[in-house]
Chain A
Amino acid sequence: MSASFTKSTARNIFYGGAVFFFLLFLALTFDTTQALPKRDNRVNLTEQVARGKNIWETRNCIGCHTLLGEGAYFAPELGNVYQRRGPEFIKAWIKGQPTGAPGRRQMPQFHLTDGELDDLVAFLKYSSEINTNNWPPNIEG
């Protein structure tokens, strides 16, 4: 780097750039939170969905699956599983685990009650109705 470009110039670019872009980021965050009510399906955020999200979290589902593409890549995407499989299949599937098929990936048995299964399905239904800009590309997730 040339000698005319001094350390204090570099430092000023750093501080100026960091502050400017952080403020811009905060402004974009503010705008996003204003736009979200039309996109994030909050009208369907019921008590049941909240309970379902808690089950989703306390069973560490994200440790194998993705939800809206985020999580682990060991098991299928579940953001659109409600459309792909439907509520009854989802509940039967969870109840039937593990399959015990030799050599195949296994899902633990979580001993969920029927009420808890309904809560979880409600959460997956709510998640599937978030406006994700048409992601995933197809029903397979």
Chain B
Amino acid sequence: MSTSTTAVLDTPRGVEEHAATRLKYRSQAVAKPYFIAAIGLFFGQIVFGLIMGLQYVIGDFLFPEIPFNVARMVHTNLLIVWLLFGFMGAGYYLIPEESERELHSPKLAIITFWVFLVAGALTIVGYLSVPYATLAKLTHNEILPTMGREFLEQPTITKVGIVLVALSFLYNLSMTVLSGRKTSVSLVMMLGLWGLAIFFLFSFYNPTNLVLDKYFWWYVVHLWVEGVWELIMGAMLAFVLIKVTGVDREVVEKWLYVIIAMTLISGIIGTGHHYYWIGTPGYWQWWGSIFSAIEPIPFFMMTLFSFNMVNRRRREHPNKAAVLWALGTGVMAFLGAGVWGFLHTLAPVNYLTHGTQLTAAHGHMAFYGAYAMVVITMISYTMPKLRGREANSRGAQKLEMVSFWLMTLAMVAITLFLTAAGYVQVSLQRMGTTPMPFMVAQDHAATYYWLREASGVVFFIGLALYIISFFVKGKTDEAAH
């Protein structure tokens, strides 16, 4: 880095010029609004998480204004939407760089952004402003009833919107890849994103037969989070690791293929761990138990992968925060998805734990560790570049790393307390000769719910610091560069 460029970087004016010096391709800049929206929606998700957490112990909190089911719908839907914004931002940043050309249509990417944001916002406003049955009526759910199923609560018209947004996004990226350099990272990313769109189509299939409904509902939910999303995660992590460690691409991409091979070899048939008790044949207990017992392996390899690459690094990247997030997602994905998944995946164990707080414990740490953290890894690496610098100032990075530890440790605590609550629930309500009714057992777990809520407050503080870290100024430390 020449002295003159460094001098330019230190002046606040000429942001456009800065961005141009830091981005390989100008059109990568479209990723920025996607990442900002992702962080904003993440904030909303956590606010509603805190509301729900409190409703677990103060049952009538905000009732009837925000009943639990509404808060939950907002909490989970915001999660999905902010992760999708994150994946899309990652795609728009990563694909041009890997393809070594400008994005096919930056304009389309910006239009798509606004369509997705407005559709998402209207849906959330709909959840909060009218009763769900009214929303179903207003959006003519009766034409093609798809509402009212967990995570797929969006009105049918919103689902159609999601498909259109996905198509526009995939068209834009596919055209870019097809006319540019094809790398394993971009190929895996595209496979994951196309898979995401294709499996979402099962959300339009809602037969009256409850067993068929549930069976194919998992084609969306499981084949997303334990299938194609892991491809997206792997590609994003590989991209950032190549950039921050300088390790040879061939090595990184070999790891990537081995990891995602294990993901799909274990994860596709692993869907069977959802088919134990919903009316499906008993043989799924064997298929599901055996294959989902293998599911932690690709996640463990993800941990080894991130540490290995960082240990073999050929450069000291000035963005220490991004490296920390990359290592963190490797570890936390393994703990949340791998270890906490395995805890209750074997059929005889699941017979007792199915549909308890243990599932919630696993869900929280897995989503945070695998998907929230990999999106933040990507944001952490790209956002300074999108704002015209190689890395943030030392002060900003320090605060970001404090937020990493607060959020991550808070999530560990949330997981442990929910696991304890699940244990109470299983032992009191599912076992013994005189099992307790649901609500009686819940009262016995109240202490753990309070501790979970307190951990949630810590998480919220961590998130607030994370957002503040974007506004910390100071000199960029590029000495090591």
Q: Are A13 and B258 in contact (CB under 8 A)?
A: yes
> Which residue of chain A has its CB nearest to the CB of B254?
A7
Q: Mark A1-21, 1 if CB is under 8 A from B, else 0.
A: 100011100110110011001
Contact of B269 among A28, A39, A50, A108 (CB under 8 A): A28
Q: Are A59 and B132 in contact (CB under 8 A)?
A: yes
Minimum CB–CB distance from A68 to chain B (whole Å) comes to 5
Whether a CB of chain A sits under 8 angstroms from the CB of B72 is yes
Contact of A98 among B64, B145, B261, B430 (CB under 8 A): B64
User: In chain B, residues 169-193, which have Cβ atoms closer than 8 Å to a Cβ of chain A?
Assistant: 184
Q: Are B211 and A36 in contact (CB under 8 A)?
A: yes
Q: Which residues of B contact A75 (CB under 8 A)?
A: 68, 438
Q: Mark B263-300, 1 if CB is under 8 A from A, else 0.
A: 01100110110111111111011010000000000000
Q: Which residues of A contact B430 (CB under 8 A)?
A: 136-138, 140
Contact of B133 among A53, A58, A66, A132 (CB under 8 A): A58
With contact pairs A62-B148, A98-B64 given, residues A74 and B282 touching in the complex (Cβ less than 8 Å): no
Q: Among the interface residues B257, B275, B276, which one has the most CB atoms of the partner chain A within 10 A?
A: B257
Contact of B264 among A17, A70, A74, A107 (CB under 8 A): A17
Q: Among the interface residues B258, B287, B355, which one has the most CB atoms of the partner chain A within 10 A?
A: B355
With contact pairs A32-B280, A39-B280, A102-B60 given, residues A137 and B351 touching in the complex (Cβ less than 8 Å): yes
> Which residue of chain A has its CB nearest to the CB of B142?
A54
Cα A120 to Cα B379 in complex, Å, equals 46
Q: Are A32 and B355 in contact (CB under 8 A)?
A: no
Q: Which residues of B contact A59 (CB under 8 A)?
A: 132-133, 148
Identify which of B89-97, B239-247, B356-364, B452-460 touches chain A. Answer: B356-364
Q: Are B355 and A1 in contact (CB under 8 A)?
A: no
Q: Which residues of A contact B33 (CB under 8 A)?
A: none
Whether a CB of chain B sits under 8 angstroms from the CB of A69 is yes
Minimum CB–CB distance from B148 to chain A (whole Å) comes to 3
Q: Are A106 and B59 in contact (CB under 8 A)?
A: yes
Whether a CB of chain A sits under 8 angstroms from the CB of B416 is no
Minimum CB–CB distance from B355 to chain A (whole Å) comes to 3
User: In chain A, residues 26-43, which have Cβ atoms closer than 8 Å to a Cβ of chain B?
Assistant: 28-29, 31-33, 35-36, 39-42
Cα A75 to Cα B437 in complex, Å, equals 11
Q: Which residues of B contact A57 (CB under 8 A)?
A: 136, 145, 147-149, 206
> Which residue of chain B has its CB nearest to the CB of A26?
B268
Whether a CB of chain B sits under 8 angstroms from the CB of A135 is yes
Q: Are A108 and B64 in contact (CB under 8 A)?
A: yes
Whether a CB of chain A sits under 8 angstroms from the CB of B3 is no
Cα A66 to Cα B354 in complex, Å, equals 10
> Which residue of chain A has its CB nearest to the CB of B137?
A58
Q: Are B73 and A140 in contact (CB under 8 A)?
A: no
Minimum CB–CB distance from B294 to chain A (whole Å) comes to 11
Minimum CB–CB distance from B408 to chain A (whole Å) comes to 24
Pairs A-B, 5 closest by C-beta atoms: A63-B69, A57-B148, A69-B355, A105-B59, A10-B257
Besides A13-B257, A140-B441, 14 new A-B residue pairs in contact (Cβ under 8 A), listed by A number: A10-B257, A14-B257, A21-B265, A32-B215, A40-B210, A63-B68, A69-B355, A70-B214, A70-B355, A73-B360, A103-B59, A108-B131, A130-B210, A132-B277
